[in-house]
Amino acid sequence: MVAAAGFLTDKRATTHWYYLEELREKYPAIHYVADRRLVVDEGVVTTMGSRASMPMALTLIEAIAGRDKVQAVGRDLGLMSWDARHASDAFNFTRPFALTAIGNTLAFWAHEQLGIEIAPGLDEVSLALVADAWSRTYRSRAVTFAGTGAAQLSRNGIRIVPDRHRELACETASAADRKPETGKGIGRNASRYCRPLRRPHGRLSLQCSSNTQRERH
């Protein structure tokens, strides 16, 4: 969108590796910068994707509030150091990556859904990091659930509507657990529903439960 609006013409920029070739093809006037999480050129900031979220946020905090403040925020997040450096060559659509993605997608009998319970005052950054990680395996998918179907107000005032109501989530999980282990359904890989534990330094710990066991992630 920024490139289409012309804001990146003749400017240095970066992007997510998956869209790099498309960016170069559609906007040849952009000067791509490799091995950088974020690039700033004449007031226009671009990043290489989700891995730049924390460094970008901390860079903005430093620019607005100064070094002392950003170091305090970094400590609270458990991120003691950060910079714009990035090993871009390590992120490519490789054969092993493709085989893993295809294998996980085709193995439908091993697919699972993990529920994350949300409540008022939750840390939305921690929620986003956990949900994103569990939804990128091509095998699992994260959904949110709550005690009611109403929107839950996060720590910073964001209204988050849960994907599931608690009772519906429990009924779905119980039904999956009752299915026979035929190897053709999801009986042996029942959906798991997770409750958020304490969040030390902004990190979210999860406790997942099924009828037979508890796991921590």
Alpha carbon distance 24, 29 (integer Å): 8
User: 116 has which bridge partners?
Assistant: 144, 194
Q: pLDDT-based confidence at 212, cuts 50/70/90? A: very low
Residues 84-105, mean pLDDT to the nearest whole number: 82
Residue at token pair 């330094």: 201
Residues whose CB is less than 8 angstroms from the CB of residue 44 and which lie 6 or more positions away in sequence, other chains included: 2, 7, 8, 11, 13
Query: Does the structure show a pLDDT above 70 at 94?
Result: yes
Mean pLDDT of the chain: 76
Q: pLDDT-based confidence at 26, cuts 50/70/90? A: very high
- The angle formed by the CA atoms of residues 166, 169 and 173, to the nearest 5 degrees, is 140
**Over the stretch 137-195, which tens digit does the pLDDT of each residue have?**
888 888 888 888 889 999 889 999 888 765 554 555 454 454 444 333 333 333 444 44
Query: Does the structure show a pLDDT above 80 at 116?
Result: yes
Q: Specify the pLDDT at position 51.
A: 74
Higher pLDDT: 199 or 15? It is: 15
User: 159 has which bridge partners?
Assistant: 153
Q: Specify the pLDDT at position 11.
A: 94
Query: Does the structure show a pLDDT above 80 at 215?
Result: no
Q: Give me the percent of the chain exceeding a pLDDT of 90.
A: 18
Candidate from 7-21, 26-40, 79-93, 161-175 with smallest mean pLDDT: 161-175
Q: Specify the pLDDT at position 209.
A: 41
CB 70 within 8 A of CB 61: yes
Q: Which ranges of the chain does DSSP label H, i.e. alpha helix? A: 20-26, 53-65, 67-77, 95-106, 124-134, 166-178
Q: Specify the pLDDT at position 31.
A: 93
User: 59 has which bridge partners?
Assistant: none
Query: Does the structure show a pLDDT above 50 at 210?
Result: no
Q: Specify the pLDDT at position 147.
A: 81
Q: Specify the pLDDT at position 213.
A: 36
Q: According to the per-residue pLDDT averaged within each range, which of 18-27, 129-138, 178-187 is highest?
A: 18-27
Q: pLDDT-based confidence at 1, cuts 50/70/90? A: confident
